Structure 1
Amino acid sequence: MTEEAAWAALLAELDRWAEAGRRLELWLRDDDATVPSDQLDRLVALAERFAVPVLLASIPMLAQEALARRLETAPLLRPCQHGSWHRNHAPAGEKKSEFGLHRPLPDILAEIAIGQQRLRQLFGDAVLPVFVPPWNRIHPDVAAELPGLGFAGLSCFRNFGLGPASGPRLVNTDLDLIDWHHGRVGRQPADLLAEMVGLLAENQAKPEPGQPFGLLLHHHDHDSTTWSFLTNLLSRLSGHAAVAFSGPDTLFGATTYSAMGLD
Structure 2
Amino acid sequence: MAVRTTPCALWRTVPHDALRQARQALDRGLDRLDAPACPVFFRADDCGVPGNVWQEFVHLFLLRRLPLAPSLVPAWLTAARWKILAAQVAAAPTLFAWHQHGRQHVNHETAGKKMEFGPARTREEKHLDLTAGRLRLETLLGPAFLPLFTPPWNRVDEDTLELLAELGYAAISRSRNARPPALPSLPDVYINVDLHTRKEPTPDAAWTGLLQELEDGAAAGRIGIMCHHQRMNRAALDWLAGFLSLLAGHQRLEPAAMIGRGHGAEGASPAHPTLVTIA
- TM category (shorter chain) comes to 0.7 to 0.9
> Is the contact made by 1:133 and 1:156 (CA closer than 8 Å) also made in structure 2?
yes
Give the alignment's TM-score, normalised by structure 1: 0.82
Question: Within the alignment, does 1:7 sit opposite 2:26 as a pair?
Answer: no
- In structure 2, what is the equivalent of residue 63 of structure 1? 77
8 Å Cα contact 2:200/2:206 also seen in 1:
no
3-state SS of paired residue (1:36):
coil
1:94 is paired with a residue of what secondary structure? coil
Alpha carbons of structure 1 residues 59 and 11: separation in structure 2 relative to 1, 3 Å: closer
| Secondary structure, counterpart of 1:168 in structure 2 | coil
AA aligned to 1:251 is L
Show the counterpart of 1:23. Answer: 37
Identical columns (%): 26
Give 1:212 deviation, angstroms: 2.7
Q: How many residues align?
A: 245
Cα distance 1:131–1:22, how it changes in 2: closer, same or farther (>3 A)? same
Counterpart in the other structure of 1:85:
104
Q: 1:172 aligns with which of 174, 187, 190?
A: 190
- Over residues 208-253 of structure 1, what are the superposed CA-to-partner deviations in whole Å (9 max), with x where a residue is unaligned? xxx3311111112211121122112111222212100011221221
| Superposition RMSD in Å | 2.7
Distance in 1 between residues matched to 2:86 and 2:222, nearest whole Å: 27
Whether the 8 Å CA contact 1:175–1:192 is kept in 2: the answer is no
1:140 to 158, 162, 165: 158
CA–CA distance in structure 2, aligned partners of residues 85 and 77 of structure 1 = 22
Match of 2:243 among 233, 245, 248: 233
Q: Deviations over 1:121-156 (max 9, x none)?
A: 111110110001001110123112212212101001
Distance 1:108 1:234 in 2: 37
> 1:196: how far off?
4.7
Distance in 2, matches of 1:200 and 1:247, equals 18
Corresponding residue for residue 263 of structure 2: none
1:253 aligned partner: 277
Where in structure 1 are there 5+ consecutive unaligned residues? 255-259
Deviations 1:95-141 (A, max 9, x none): 11001121111221121101000011111110110001001110123
Bigger shift: residues 212-221 or 130-139 = 212-221
Would you tell me which structure has more strand in proportion to its own residues?
1
Structure 1 match to 2:65 = 51
Q: Which runs of 5+ in 2 are unaligned?
A: 1-14, 261-273
What is the alpha-carbon distance in structure 1 between the residues aligned to residue 135 and residue 113 of structure 2? Answer: 28
Which stretch has the larger CA shift, 137-146 or 5-14? 5-14
In the aligned structure 2, how far is the partner of 1:200 from the partner of 1:62?
32
Q: Residues 43 and 175 of structure 1: is their aligned pair in 2 closer, same or farther, counting only changes over 3 Å? A: same
Equivalent of 2:131 in 89, 101, 113:
113
Q: Secondary structure of the residue that 2:60 maps to in structure 1?
A: helix
Counterpart contact for 1:14–1:242, Cα < 8 Å: no
Inter-partner Cα distance in structure 1 for 2:275 and 2:167: 19
Task: Report the TM-score when normalising by structure 2.
Answer: 0.78
1:212 maps to 2:227: no
Letter in 2 for 1:247: A
